[in-house]
Chains A and B, each alone.
Chain A
Amino acid sequence: MIAVKEKENEGVYLSSFREVEEKLAHGSPSWLQAIRREAVEVFAERGFPTTKDEEWRFTSVAPIAGKAFKPGRHELTPALRQAILGHAMADLDCPRLVFLNGHYCEELSSAATLPKGVRAGSLGEALRSEGAALEAHLARYADYRDHSFVALNTAFLEDGAFVEIPKGVILEKPLQLLFVSEAGNGLVVSHPRNLILVGRESQATIIETFVGLDSATSAGLKPAATPATTAATEGVYFTNAVTEIAVEEGAHVHYIKVQQESSRSFHYARMQVQQERSSSVTTHSFALGGALIREEVRAVLDGEGAEAVLNGLYVLTGSQHVDNHTLIDHAKPHCGSREFYKGVLDGRSSAVFNGAIKVRQDAQKTDSKQSNKNLLLSEDAIINTKPQLEIYADDVKCTHGATIGHIDSEAIFYLRSRGIALAEARNLLTYAFANDVLGRIQYEPLRQRLDRELFTRLGETGRPEEA
């Protein structure tokens, strides 16, 4: 029976938890240890979701559940150091925190140029030195009681980024959180956990990048081809990340997530945003790498006049699967939300977009717009897109729209009739489709990196430089 088989799958984590429990407890505040225990129980009870679960209908996590992932090493070898520093995403000209298999790597981090009063470093370290201060926030926003992967992350919560921006501070440059996975012989799991606290009237851009190091991605480019000789577990890893972002009154945050994991990896991530009055948060989610990906963004607009903008772009090839599940929770009146997700699917890739908007009874004058547009480059690509509106207030404006299309043959002919070759015309139109999401990134060095990455993925021809 399925239930028995799943029990075995979860068992790996349960016994792993028993092994590390004591180590985790050491130097951790007791409130956290209680949360970890509760989370592991939630996970044990819920198990991995199946496609019978409405929230997971089009995404089977059986490939993750069926593998015995174990925590990986996080020593920085000279070769690793070189590979990380050589990665295109490690060259963004801004302060950064680097994490290796989920653990803070001080040697490669450089946060010294941050303004006075800004804290940015290891969450594990912060828990050891001043755990009590985090109690009000950590695991208070991303609810582990109703979600298997969040519960799993919370049970194994050990390290990640802790960022605290005090009142009225404006970060001139973004802060980058670079998560590097290095699986070696494979079946490595990491549970990065980030807590970002943005004080009243502060302003910050944070770039969260996930990259995998395998032979080809160490250059930061195409997902690696998988040679037939590769061992079945080579480079197979699972990133299970949770980020909580608490934004105080009047603060402005851009949170940009770039997921460029290795081609054989699995990735689950929750970005959980909590917003106070008159704050504004813009999230960007770029899903480019990985084999099986679930990206969840949830924003709670918990103060009047708060605004959230959720941008997303997924560009898939081969047999990649990306599931974007978003939830915007309008909890208070006069809040606005905008959501723009676009997808480009080639090969036999598949994607899910599920955009939930919840408008609570009190949240009058909510103004919400959602759009999901998809471009299918192949007959075999599959997209499942669904808006999900739950509205309990009566004076609200909520619109949504989804499109699925192929490349416009008239536009192709127009370009060809001006001498542009067919393949280049296709790339140009695909790029143009995706480009407006990239254009929403205000930090130019990152926008350029992603622009290049996008063009590499679309093929080398027809790359427009800025004219």
Chain B
Amino acid sequence: MSDNEFIKIKNVSKKFDDVVAVDNVDINIARGEFFSLLGPSGCGKTTLLRILAGFEYPSSGKVLIDNVDVTGITPNLRPTNMVFQNYAIFPHINVKKNIEFGLRKEKLSKDALDKRVKDALRMVQLEGYEDRYSNQLSGGQRQRIALARALVKQPKVLLLDEPLGALDKKLREEMQLELRKLQRSVGITFIFVTHDQEEAMTMSDRVAVMNKGKILQISPPRDLYNNPKNLFVGDFIGQINFLESEIKSIDSNNINVLINKLGEHTLTYSGNINKEESIVCAIRPETIQIGNNPDQIKSDITIKGKIANTSFYGNMTYIYVEIEGIAKTLMVSTSDALEGLTYDSECYININLKDIRLIKKN
């Protein structure tokens, strides 16, 4: 077994009555990896996580962890532990007893037990909280206790079910960094479920994007952003403009594409696309440059438009540009000052061919 196949999810499907929640999913996860399952609600990511935890059994397929088939094994006998979405801190016992809860089987001496609890609390920076009860903790503290309670068991895999969802934005960003740091220091494989693309991107080694029970793409965050394999992934991760396009011809290195209102252009051909397939061109808003003079910026394509709207985000501004013949306004983001680029004013947008990605429609 190689470390790259520490967790093997082999052709796993899960049906609830007639609904297919997880559809023939096949993933290998490496030892010590921070792996995220990303997708909109109802995409099956939580079901897949629960299959890994043992709360659900797959209708077909297998799950192997560290070379052991755990498909039919109950959660209490698996080398996995979970951090629940609502943290599930036992309300009738204090923090210390919560953390000890999973250690009973190890039959530790009182001193050893105290030390384990103390270490776990230090790890999540909540030393001295032993005697508190769940209702005396803030959301962020509960989340840390849930983390400590799961990690104190030293599982082979830690499963996290949207654990940051209930926290406010500032705390969430703080916890993202902390979680990543913690994962590196304990070296345990983390599988993280989230619907927040930013969260998945900032923390993960690799991200699997799911929709309707299927895995659409598994890539490192940067790849996922720069080279989305399909419309859904491109649209789900970050902001993107899609332009209707048509393939004119393909030769060994080049592909000729007619892009709606932008004319026919030759792009580098990277394979994977047949001439008959219907495609769109995808352009990230930050790769488009904007100005109020056609000769201001040198670029491969320059086209005239009218500003339909602008929204200011502090570090940058989104500008929505109306172009005659294109139904949807084009989104452009810029961090520059916007002299003369105000609502209803004329503008020119500049696109370089290297920033255009071809994506199959289906």
> Do they bind each other?
no
